[in-house]
């Protein structure tokens, strides 16, 4: 269940990145930003809406209005609201749809606004911008504890509480459906706008691609019932999907699907075989994942560059 749900989510992120890089013509790499925006949408808006609906339904929650109470009582309040949602499937489904739509709109807007100054930068400055932008948003989210819970994070009510016995299966189906919709909508958008070359096309694609990534950030928060900035790092939501794109030749469709599957399989192999791998290396196994990422990134870029050279000849 974990492999399937995370695979569909990371595949959707890679598809959003393919739109931004391939069709939006923006080669900056701050893709953990829209994912973080999607997560903050759930913690800052969905949680509060769920609390309000629960209190309207007669549930007595612990104090949650102040910043300290918002963080300290989040686990208890999230549990109470989850119990409240067990008998209200329509409300739970409505919160899911609202979260995805809001995350899409907010992340799309943030991506478009943050990308505007990057479009005219030289490659060196664009690289600096790519590294600093995720750190800036990460620190910004930690400053506003009322949004993200700061370093401690906040618990999220279970909007799928009405299907407790089969929650993992349902979430797998939902994440797969989202990935399918992303693929169909992005193909339709590309077909309609491929012949356009004006700046408006760039803006539309940047907004749409960033919105896709943001919606996945919201879905990820609803899956793990917890929002903390550390879960939206550039490593997991920027570099690994980029590696998938590299081995797919920055293309889409079946090639990206196969590339995403193989890269995710490699990552899971390292995670689940770490006890065996430890005996063959002289450094902590936690570093191995990043080392393999860098090694395969270089290999993939060399292969892709060779393809470019052959195609130009």
The whole-number mean pLDDT for each consecutive block of 10 residues of the chain, a chain of 313 residues, reads: 85 88 69 90 94 93 90 93 92 93 93 77 76 84 87 92 82 89 80 57 78 93 91 86 84 82 83 75 76 83 61 40
Is the same domain home to 163 and 127?
yes
Check residue 6 and give its pLDDT: 87
Sequence-separated (6 or more) residues with CB below 8 Å from residue 156: 42, 43, 46, 47, 78, 221, 222, 224, 225, 226, 227
Check residue 4 and give its pLDDT: 85
Is the same domain home to 131 and 259?
no
Is the same domain home to 81 and 25?
yes
Is the same domain home to 54 and 33?
yes
Check residue 198 and give its pLDDT: 54
Last residue of a domain, one of 232, 261, 291: 232
Using the Cα atoms of residue 98, residue 103, residue 108 and residue 110 in order, give the sign of their dihedral. positive
Check residue 106 and give its pLDDT: 94
Is the same domain home to 11 and 74?
yes
Domain limits for position 216: 2-232
Is the same domain home to 70 and 196?
yes
Is the same domain home to 127 and 207?
yes
Q: How many CA atoms lie within 13 A of 247 on its CB side?
A: 21
pTM for the full predicted model: 0.86
Check residue 312 and give its pLDDT: 40
Check residue 115 and give its pLDDT: 76
Check residue 217 and give its pLDDT: 93
Is the same domain home to 171 and 271?
no
Is the same domain home to 152 and 281?
no
């Amino acid at each position: 269940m974990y492999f399937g749900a995370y695979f569909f989510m990371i595949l959707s992120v890679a598809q959003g990145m393919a739109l931004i890089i391939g069709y939006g013509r923006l080669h900056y790499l701050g893709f953990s930003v829209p994912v973080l925006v999607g997560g903050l949408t759930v913690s800052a808006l969905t949680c509060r809406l769920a609390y309000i609906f629960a209190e309207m339904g007669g549930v007595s929650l612990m104090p949650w209005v102040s910043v300290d109470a918002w963080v300290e009582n989040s686990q208890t309040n999230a549990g109470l609201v989850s119990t409240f949602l067990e008998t209200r499937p329509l409300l739970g489904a409505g919160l899911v749809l609202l979260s995805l739509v809001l995350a899409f709109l907010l992340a799309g807007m943030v991506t478009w606004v943050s990308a505007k100054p990057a479009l005219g930068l030289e490659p060196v400055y664009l690289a600096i911008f790519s590294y600093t932008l995720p750190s800036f948003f990460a620190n910004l989210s930690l400053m506003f504890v009322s949004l993200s819970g700061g370093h401690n994070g906040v618990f999220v009510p279970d909007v799928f509480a009405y299907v407790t016995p089969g929650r993992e299966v349902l979430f797998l189906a939902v994440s797969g459906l989202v990935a399918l919709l992303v693929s169909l909508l992005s193909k339709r958008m590309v077909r309609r706008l491929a012949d356009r070359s004006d700046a408006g096309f760039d803006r539309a694609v940047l907004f749409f691609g960033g919105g896709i990534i943001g919606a996945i950030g919201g879905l990820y928060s609803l899956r793990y019932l917890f929002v903390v900035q550390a879960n939206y790092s550039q490593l997991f939501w920027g570099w690994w999907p980029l590696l998938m794109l590299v081995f797919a030749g920055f293309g889409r469709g079946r090639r990206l699907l196969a590339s995403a599957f193989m890269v995710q399989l490699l990552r899971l192999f390292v995670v689940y075989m770490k006890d065996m791998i430890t005996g063959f290396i002289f450094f902590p196994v936690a570093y191995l994942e990043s080392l393999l990422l860098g090694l395969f990134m270089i290999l993939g870029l060399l292969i892709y560059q060779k393809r470019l050279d052959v195609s130009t000849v």
